[in-house]
Chain A
Amino acid sequence: MTSKTTASSLFDFFFRPQMPYALAAIRIATGAMLAYIHLIWMLRMEAFFGPNALLSGEFIRGLHAEQWKWTYLANTESTMLAWVHEVVALTAGGCMCLGLASRWSIPIAWLATLLTAHRLAPFLFGLDQIVLMLTMYLCIADSGSVWSLDAHLAGDKPPIASWNNNLATRLIQLHLCVIYLFGGLGKLRGWMWWDGSATWFTAASYEYQSSSLLWIGSVPTLGAIATHATLFWECSYSTLIWNRWTRPWMLAMAVLVHGGIAIFLGMITFGVMMIVANIAFIDPLTVRRCCSLGDRKV
């Protein structure tokens, strides 16, 4: 392949104009989740922010002393200021979900959530990583041009296929491949993922369990198959997701694994957001067809 064709393939991969339907679906779910995340912080404001917070601003400043994790929320003890910040973040998340002033609401929701994340870093987990990742890439897309109040207020004009939609989609796809690849490589180091007992030991964790999966202990072969299927799926995701014949299987497995995490391991928010992130690998027109099928049924 000549350098000219390599460049044109790269340009085609990143810049070919794309419709915004898949990104709009991701925007709606991510905006709703962002609003929910901030609502949860607001349930215990005194415990998370202010002079009597579980993790004081002084501790967080010390924790991040050698890191580039500045947030003004670590430099104030004002609970009122934290309330204002959280209300702004929740409103921005809500607007992002509804597609209201999307050009502004998505970057504001991202920035406000990022600043909260730096203040409350020790409370975070995979959910926060995935939600911030998706919101960051949505900032560069036109996801608010369909299925949004913005589009409705503008008279529901037909959407434009734009290069920045494709760029945002590609970045989500590549980032997701990195997450799965290293998630899988990490598991390859553990013996429980090889001897097939990992599914049992995650299911038998009292702190995680939300629905009982303990029956799997009486069918050890099934537990081992589930463990190995998860391991091989995660390790191969970053290659097999790009092939159109294997992609549906990879996506089906993503729904199974993350659905299982949501139902049995009590991480419904994380499980749902990982499934939402996988929408980036579905053709936007297929997403639109699926949604219009839903409309017709209603």
Chain B
Amino acid sequence: MKPTPDPTELRECPPTWKWVILILVSLHLIAVVAEPLRFFSQSEFQASPEFLAIRRWSAPYVEWLYLDHGYFFFAPNPGPSHLVAVSKESVQLQTTNQVAEIGLHLDRFETVFPDRTKQWPRLLYHRYFMLSEFYNNMFAPDRLLPEDMADEEFVVRWKRDRIRYERLQSSLSNSLSHSLGAERVTLHRIERILLTPEQILRQAWRLDDPRALVLLEESPR
């Protein structure tokens, strides 16, 4: 795009500033790509060392200016949604077989978020939706399988993640028990699976069909 020429008055950049500003702009642009490059270059084997170094070096700038995004919108694939259901006591939940047959009914819980009937306008609903996704992303199981215990590095990472998840759980529980007037509440993670055209258009499932809800376990099987 050709910048527009000025019909009347021009304010030019002082020539001596131009180089200084250009250097600052270059550094800023490196910071802008630092997080997506690190994010993309990460595999189970390693994170690419040069991108990792750039990201580490630019961390204060990138993180405080809120530039640390991978820009993975609906990528690599659109995934299932996650909900958080809250019950005042440990409700007797259905077995996996029952869920497969009749579905998981959300009205048995004290509250569920996100819930478009309770959180309005849409932006408020979306805030709760992001929180439920965050809660699910932070999940770390309450124990490890014996075969996983052999990997020391894995165990250390799991312990750290589990502490963080428990802190999140406790923060949410305290707040929700206060707002629900309960002594204590239990949080349940629920996944709404992706429905195929076959299920919706031919088998007449509704988008909010209880059969699409899966109660996620806290322990590995």
Interface residue ranges, A against B (CB under 8 Å): 10-11, 14-19, 36-37, 40, 43-44, 46-47, 52-56, 58-59, 62-63, 67-70, 114, 117-118, 122-129, 132, 136, 158, 160-164, 166-167, 169, 171, 173-175, 178-179, 182-183, 185-187, 189-193, 198, 200-202, 204-210, 214, 217-218, 220, 242, 244, 247, 266-269, 281, 283-285
The reply to whether the CB of B4 lies closer than 8 angstroms to some CB of chain A is yes
Residues of A within 8 A of B63 (CB): 67-69
B64-A62 in contact (CB<8A)? no
- Evaluate contact between A198 and B4: CB separation under 8 angstroms: no
Beyond A214-B201, A269-B122, 16 extra complex contacts between A and B, CB < 8 Å: A53-B171, A54-B171, A55-B172, A118-B64, A118-B66, A125-B126, A126-B73, A161-B9, A169-B3, A178-B71, A186-B76, A204-B194, A204-B195, A205-B207, A217-B201, A218-B197
A178 and B60 alpha carbons, distance in the complex (Å) = 20
Complex contact B10–A160 (CB within 8 A): yes
Q: Are A17 and B78 in contact (CB under 8 A)?
A: no
B144: CB under 8 A from chain A? Answer: no
Contact of A10 among B22, B121, B195 (CB under 8 A): B22
Q: How many positions in chain B have a CB within 8 Å of any CB in the partner chain?
A: 74
In the complex, which residues of chain A have a beta carbon less than 8 angstroms from the beta carbon of B5? 17, 161
Chain B hits for A193, CB < 8 A: 75-77
Interface segment out of the listed B44-52, B87-95, B128-136: B128-136
Verify if B214 is at the interface (C-beta below 8 Å from A): no
* Distance of A276 Cα from B74 Cα, bound (Å): 21
Task: Kindly list chain B residues whose C-beta atoms are within 8 Å of the C-beta of A127.
Answer: 123, 126
Give the top 8 A-B pairs by smallest Cβ distance, nearest first. Answer: A161-B6, A186-B75, A190-B76, A217-B197, A190-B77, A207-B81, A189-B76, A163-B13
In the assembled complex, the CB of A155 is this many whole angstroms from the nearest CB of chain B, namely 15
B21 engages A167 (CB within 8 Å): yes
A56 B194 Cβ-Cβ under 8 A: no
Partner of A220, one of B21, B81, B197, B212: B197
Residue among B3, B66, B134 with the most chain A CB within 10 A?
A: B3
A123 CB contact (under 8 Å) in B12, B131, B168, B171: B131
* Complex Cα–Cα for A118 and B65 (A): 10
Residues from 168 to 221 in B contacting A, C-beta threshold 8 Å:
168, 171-172, 174-176, 178-179, 192, 194-195, 197, 200-201, 207-208, 212
Given the known interface contacts A36-B123, A182-B70, A220-B197, the answer about A55 and B171 at a Cβ–Cβ threshold of 8 Å is: yes
Alpha-carbon gap, A67 to B171, bound state (A): 20
Report the minimum CB–CB distance from B155 to chain A (whole Å): 19
Q: Is the CB of A266 within 8 A of B126?
A: yes
- Distance between Cα atoms of A220 and B66 in the complex (Å): 39
Residue of A nearest to B135 (CB): A122
B150 interface residue (CB < 8 Å to A): no
Binary interface encoding of chain B residues 7-29 relative to chain A, with 1 for a CB under 8 A from any of its CBs, else 0: 11111110000100110010011
> CA A169 – CA B175 in complex, angstroms?
43
Query: Which chain A residues lie closer than 8 Å to B3 at the CB level?
Result: 16-18, 166, 169
What's the minimum C-beta distance from A218 to chain B, rounded to whole angstroms?
6
Neighbouring A residues of B123 by C-beta, 8 Å: 36-37, 40, 127, 269
**Closest beta carbon of chain B to A188's beta carbon, Å:** 8
A17-B167 contact in complex given A69-B64, A186-B71, A281-B1, C-beta closer than 8 Å: no
B108 contacts the other chain (Cβ, under 8 Å)? no
Determine the distance from Cα of A285 to Cα of B28 in the docked complex, in whole angstroms.
28
| Pick from A124, A201, A281: contact of B77, CB under 8 Å | A201
Contacts of B69 in A (CB 8 A): 129
A-B contact pairs, 8 of them (CB 8 A): A52-B175, A54-B171, A54-B175, A129-B69, A167-B13, A193-B75, A266-B125, A267-B126
CA distance A191 to B77 in the complex (A): 7
A59→B165 CA distance, assembly (Å): 10
Residues of B within 8 A of A126 (CB): 73
Do A58 and B171 have beta carbons less than 8 Å apart?
yes
**Chain A neighbourhood of B179, CB < 8 A:** 46-47, 52
Q: Which residues of A contact B1 (CB under 8 A)?
A: 173, 242, 244, 247, 281, 283
- Check if B103 is an interface residue, CB within 8 A of chain A: no
**In contact, B131 and A187 (Cβ under 8 angstroms):** no
**B130 interface neighbour in A124, A136, A163, A191, Cβ under 8 Å:** A124
- Nearest CB of B to A229, in Å: 14
Distance, CA A195 to CA B65, complexed state (A): 37
Chain A CB within 8 A of B32 CB: yes
Asked if residues B29 and A54 are in contact (CB atoms below 8 Å), the reply is no
